[in-house]
Amino acid sequence: MRIIKYVLVIILFYSCSTIDKSSIELFQRLNDSIQSKYAPDKRVAIYDISLKNEGNTLVLKGETDKAVALEELKEKLVRNNINFEDRVVVLPDSSVGVFVAALANNSVSNLRAKGKHSAELVTQVILGTELKVLKKHGSFTLVQTPEKYIAWVDNGGITFLNKNEFKNWKDSELLIYTKNIGNSYQDNGFNRVLTDMVLGAKVKIIEELENSFKVEFPDGRNGFVKKEEAESYSKWLIHLKPSKELIESYAKSLLGSPYLWGGTSTKGMDCSGFVKTVYLMNGFVTPRDASQQILAGQVVDEDLKLKGLEKGDLMFFGSKATKDKKQRVTHVGIWLGNDRQEFIHSSRRVRINSMNPKSDIFDVWCSENYLGSRRYLDVEDKEFLKL
């Protein structure tokens, strides 16, 4: 009798283990499929879910900002008779409290790969940029930018807003800074600097004066901005007419600006940050990285012969696809549309180079690693926003 009991226990143990193993394998297939559907790019979506066997219970763990993806996963698990306990955290989580949004409070706020100052700089946001708050941890907060990029920002670089405060900001008359770089001041005589300012920065207008705007920063500081260096944001939008010429004008105004990995401002910018800045001032919120920007817009110059390109088109460079590996986009520039085959890009600094081997500014690497071009102007695409 005792031997029979032991045999039954062993059979039951291995039966449970087999069931749990098969359930976990099925989960992995379902989970991978849902992640590919809702969060294929970790830079713009969070989907980190696993199924753990804890005692006699299968437990869903992890976090996601895609509630619909989690619900689909749970439905499929139930449909496949997999019993589980749901412990997945859906972002924004409880750590954010009443804060639904944040505003960049510095001329440029740095966003990092992890919630610490020593982590890699992955992107930046300029003053007045609206951010979605996902979770807080210590002195850093995980946020999502208008182009959906997700990264950590030092709390000193942002101001948190509850629902009413965010609505108030959205309803306020705002100012946009239109000079490449400058200052705001503590006094209307422009004698005492309050902070530096960069192209595209936004603050709230309190009062329009003869030579200045009195403004309020996201954290409540008041200051003055020279009228010749700024404009009412609503009026700027009304008068904004994106064009090839305007793209060229803003791009060339940034010539000589320093290269900065992760940079997106006139203080310093990487190649895709340069594109992002130029197009922002033409009314576009573009994807952040070159490998994302190539997925937006209309394909031009399919044969890579530099035919059909127009001023303002984005040119992409990197490693070409082989039978063993996929194409890898690592660089982007803006075509200038002249008979010298010139383009402008941020590489070491913002500079102009040529695709023409006879030019004294010919760029060998770009010529050999050209992957194709995309057009954003006059194109409707869900991959970028228009202001």
Residue 9: its pLDDT value, please?
A: 36
Q: What percent of the chain has pLDDT over 70?
A: 95
Residue 20: its pLDDT value, please?
A: 64
Residue 57: its pLDDT value, please?
A: 86
List the 130-137 sheet strands across, edge first: 121-126, 108-112, 150-154, 140-144, 130-137, 99-104, 158-162
3-state secondary structure the chain: CHHHHHHHHHHHHHHHHHHHHHHHHHHHHHHHHHHHHHCCCCCCCCEEEEEEEECCEEEEEEEECCHHHHHHHHHHHHHCCCCCEECCEECCCHHHCCEEEEEECCCEEEEECCCCCCCCEEEEEECCCEEEEEEEECCEEEEECCCCCEEEEEHHHEEEEEHHHHHHHHHCCEEEECCCEEEEECCCCCCCEEEEEECCCEEEEEEECCCEEEEECCCCCEEEEEHHHEEEHHHHHHHCCCCHHHHHHHHHHCCCCEECCCCEECCEECHHHHHHHHHHCCCEECCCCHHHHCCCCEEECCCCCCCCCCCCCEEEEEECCCCCCCCEEEEEEEECCCCCCEEEEEECEEEEEECCCCCCCECHHHHHCEEEEEECCCCCCCCCEEC
Q: Which CATH architecture has domain 172-239?
A: Roll (2.30)
Domain 15-90 has what CATH class? alpha beta
Per the CB < 8 A criterion, the answer to whether 267 and 250 are in contact is: no
Between CA 58 and CA 10 the distance in angstroms is 21
Lookup: tokens for 350: 């913002």
Domain ranges across the chain = 15-90, 94-169, 172-239, 244-386
Q: Quick count: other Cβ atoms within 10 Å of Cβ 15? A: 10
Spans in the chain with pLDDT lower than 50: 1-19
Residue-wise pLDDT tens digits, 164-174: 999 999 999 99
User: 350 forms bridges with which residues in the sheet?
Assistant: 346
Q: Quick count: other Cβ atoms within 10 Å of Cβ 322? A: 8
Between CA 318 and CA 338 the distance in angstroms is 23
Residue-wise pLDDT tens digits, 225-235: 999 999 999 99
Q: Do 172-239 and 244-386 show the same overall fold? A: no
Burial class (CB in 10 A: 0-12, 13-18, 19+), 100: middle
Q: Which fold has domain 94-169?
A: SH3 type barrels. (2.30.30)
Please list, residue by residue across 286-318, b when 16 or more beta carbons sit within 10 angstroms of its beta carbon and e when fewer do. bbbbbbbbbebbeebbeeeebeebebbbbbbbb
Per the CB < 8 A criterion, the answer to whether 296 and 304 are in contact is: no
> pTM of the full predicted structure?
0.92
Amino acid at 66: K
Residue 349: its pLDDT value, please?
A: 98
Amino acid at 248: E
Q: What is the dotted CATH code of the domain comprising 244-386?
A: 3.90.1720.10
